[in-house]
Each structure stands twice: as C-alpha cells, then as structure tokens.
Structure 1
Amino acid sequence: MIDQIFDVNDIEWDENEHGKTKTIIGKDLFKKNRLRLFVLKPNELFISHDHDFTQCLYFYSGKGKIKIDDAITDVYPGITAIVLPNQFHELENTSEENMEILVFESEDQYSKESPYVDF
C-alpha cells in the first residue's frame, strides 16, 4: 500500500555517479512515470548522458548551466528544461550553493503538438 500523503523528508537519498537523487513517486505507483529530486553540490558536474525517456527539469535553487546536445543554456530558479529521449545532456552547478532540481520522468510518448518542443 502506498501512502497518499507522506513527508518527502522521510525518503532516503540515493547517491550514484550522477549525484544525489531522491525518488518521490516511482514505478511502484506509475508504470511509466517518476517524480524525483536531484541535488548537485556547488561546482559539481552531472556528466553527459542520455536515456530512453523524456525528462522535464524544474530548477528551484542554485545557478548553473545545462547542455542539451550542443546547446548550452544558463539555468536558475524558475527555469524549466525538457530533455527528449536519446538527447545527450549534462548539468553543471556553477554556484556556491546546492542546485536543486525537481525532475518529472516519463516513458510515455510525448505529444508532437506540444508548444514547448520544436520537432
């Protein structure tokens, strides 16, 4: 049974080669979607990688850069970035504080009618 109301602070952090993550809502609830928190420490680099699902990243603290394919863009609180399946991307925290990112991940096919993505 999954609690419908829970404290995110009760969920443990996972550390991996890409940094620190916390899965808030995972595949135990949705088969093809997840909601996760990412934290990059000051001056930390989340190395270039790709995967076969879409990510929507909402930056809510810290400042840095995101590289998607060959395009590099500054990120700061309030910025949202969409990374499509198989797009290489990397994140760099260029600030002296943690960069915190709320990430929605979906294995569902994205809509080609979206006003947010240029296909």
Structure 2
Amino acid sequence: MKQVRLTESSFEPREGYERSVLLTSEDFGANTKLQLMRLAPSQSIKPHHHNTRTECFRIVSGSGEIKINDEVVATTDNDIVLCEPGDVHEFINTSVSEPLTFLVIRTNDSGNEDMIWEDA
C-alpha cells in the first residue's frame, strides 16, 4: 500500500510547466506512471505526440483547453480526457490568474524517448 497526498507534492520545473511524479512503474508493476502537472496562468505545453504512450488526463483545478489533433476541448475541474498514441496534443491554460492542475496516467510509458515535439 502506498498513499500519496497531492497537497504535499514537490514539483520539478519543465519546459513551460511543472510536474510531480506520484507513482511509477515500480508501484504499478507495469510501464505506467501517475503524475501531477501544474501549468502557470496563460502558459501552454507545446504540441507533441507519443508513438506508444496513452495518456489519460484528469483536471484537478483550473480551466483551459486541450488541443488534440484538430479538435479543441475546453476543460474544467473533474473533466477526464483520453489521448491515444499518435494524437498530437497541446495544453493551454486559458486563465490569466489561476494555475491549471491535472493528473496524468501514462500507460505503455517508455520515458522521454516517446516525447516527440511538433515543428513550430
């Protein structure tokens, strides 16, 4: 058994956002990871895709948009969005004052090798 308190998460800075790895493959017994992400007001995570990784996003707080392929999905607290391998996706925090915080469940996770940034 392992308990994780989101309120006690420590974040590491990334390119345009912060993340906290909550559970890893060692916890799940598979290539799966649970992360807490925090996107500052008016910031975005650049468009990218994964060849093998599936990601499930659960909005914890805040509001924003997820662009997946050619579709824009408006998100708010408690929404869940699934992004499949090959889907080009981008997160945008539409708030000018509040962070956008969300959980990410990553399956078939092979690490940063499967993070393919799209050309600008």
Offset at residue 28 of structure 1 (A)? 2.5
Q: CA shift at 1:4, angstroms?
A: 2.4
Structure 1 residue 27: Cα displacement: 2.2
What are structure 2's unaligned runs of at least 5 residues?
A: 110-120
Q: Is 2:18 aligned against 1:20?
A: yes
- Letter matched to residue 24 of structure 2: G
Partners of 1:101 and 1:11 in 2: CA distance: 13
Contact 2:16 2:43 in 1 (8 A): no
What is the alpha-carbon distance in structure 1 between the residues aligned to residue 80 and residue 4 of structure 2?
25
Partners of 1:31 and 1:18 in 2: CA distance: 28
Residue in 1 that maps onto 2:49: 50
Secondary structure of 1:78's counterpart equals: coil
SS at match of 1:28: helix
Matched with 2:115 is none
Percentage of matched positions with identical amino acids: 25
Relative distance call for 1:107 and 1:18 in structure 2 (3 A) is farther
Structure 1 segments unaligned to the other structure (5+ residues): 109-119
Counterparts of 1:72 and 1:47, CA distance in 2 = 14
Per the normalisation by structure 2, the TM-score is 0.79
Q: Find the aligned partners of 1:77 and 1:11 in 2 and give their Cα distance.
A: 19
Q: How many residues align?
A: 106
Q: Distance in 2 between matches of 1:85 and 1:49?
A: 11
Q: Secondary structure at the match of 1:82?
A: strand
TM-score between the two structures when normalised by the length of structure 1: 0.80
Q: How far does residue 31 in structure 1 lie from its aligned partner after superposition? A: 2.9
Partner of 2:102: 101
- Over 4 Å off, 4+ runs: 6-11
SS in 2 for 1:85: coil
1:1-119 → structure 2 map (5 Å cutoff): 4-8=2-6, 11-29=9-27, 30-51=29-50, 52-95=52-95, 96-107=97-108
